[in-house]
Structure formats: structure tokens, C-alpha cells
Amino acid sequence: MVETSSGTAVVTLPTDTQILIEREFNAPRHLVYKAYTTPDLIKRWWSGDRGEVTLAEVDLRVGGRWRYVMEANGGFEVGFHGEYREVVPNERLVTTEVYEGMPEGEAVVTHTFSEKDGRTALTILMQLPSQSDRDAVINSGMEGGMQEAMDHLEQVAVSLH
């Protein structure tokens, strides 16, 4: 029997300008890396429960660009893009990341994939230019949650109409 659920993501704030995200997966790291870097696979998970991924472009080489676009549940589009700075297959990816709604706060994101006993520990370290940029990223989660709440409220309102 395969254990699917590997627990929840753990988010910590190591410094005023960093966000660290950690999660373990019940799969070898070359598969986690594959799911992380293959457009058709990215489309299936990247949006979480926030919407649907409408575009996933990956030019996986140093200096290559990436861009993901998601149609959020509220109907609006959310885009992220960046450039690959380091590409060590199955081990390490360093990318820049810009949220297109806040283009001044470019993050440098280091992904580390490490495998032990067939399981993979993924760490994602986001380095933001300033504390206010870091806080804006955390707040975006809040706003997303708010947006979903508003959408649900809208559905309820429409059903009452």
C-alpha cells in the first residue's frame, strides 16, 4: 500500500527578507524534479486550489526563461515569470521570480531536492529584496484566501437572488 499523504508544507521566516518552505514527498527526487520542471505536469499542480494553470513555459537552462499563468477562481489572471540562474538536474534549481502584479519585488528562489530512502525533501528558499517585499508575498496568501472567501460569498449571494 502506497502512502500518498506526506504531510503539510512548513513555512518559516529565517530572516526579515526570506521565506523558507519545506515539504517531504513519498517519491524519489528525479520524479519530484520532473514534476517541477515539465510544463504538462506543472499545469496539474501549481495552482493548488486557487484556479487552473493556463500557461506553463519552461526553458530549462541557465539564462532560460520560465512563465506560469493561472486563471484564478475569481476569473482574473495571475502571472509569474523569471529566469533560471542555476540548473543542476534532480538536485538544485535557482531561479528569479517576479509576480507580475508586483514587478518590483523580484525574488531569488533556491530549490533543493534531497533524497533519503526513496523519499524526497524539498526546500524552497525565497530571498526577497526587502522586508516589505517579503511581507507582501506572505500577505498575497492572505489576499488569495480573502478572494476565495469573496467568491464563495458571491456564489451564495447569486443563489439567493
Partner 1 sequence: MNDLVRLIGLAQPLVSKHLRVLREVGLVGVRDEGRQRMYSVNGQSLKPIHDWVKTYERSWSKRFDRLDVVLEELKEMKEDDRGRDE
Decide whether 135 or 158 has the Cβ nearer to partner 1: 135
Distance CA 146, CA 47 (A): 16
For residue 59, CA distances in Å to 20, 50, 83, 102, 122 come to: 25, 25, 9, 23, 21
- For partner 1, which stretch binds (CB under 8 A), given 13-21, 82-90, 93-101, 104-112? 13-21
Residue 121 near partner 1 by CB under 8 A: no
SS3 105: coil
Rounded Cα–Cα distance for residues 23 and 117 (Å): 15
- In the complex with partner 1, which residue's Cβ is closer, 62 or 150? 150
Q: Is 141 in the site for partner 1 (CB under 8 A)?
A: yes
Task: Based on the shown chain and the rule CB under 8 A, indicate whether residue 5 belongs to the binding site for partner 1.
Answer: yes
How far apart CA 56 and CA 108 sit, in angstroms, is 19
Residue 34 interacts with partner 1 (CB under 8 A): yes or no: yes
82 or 144: whose CB is closer to partner 1?
144
Tell me the C-alpha distance between 60 and 77, whole Å: 24
Q: Where along the sequence are the contacts to partner 1 (CB under 8 A)?
A: 2, 4-6, 8-13, 19, 21, 23, 25-27, 31-32, 34-35, 41, 44-50, 137-138, 140-142, 144-145
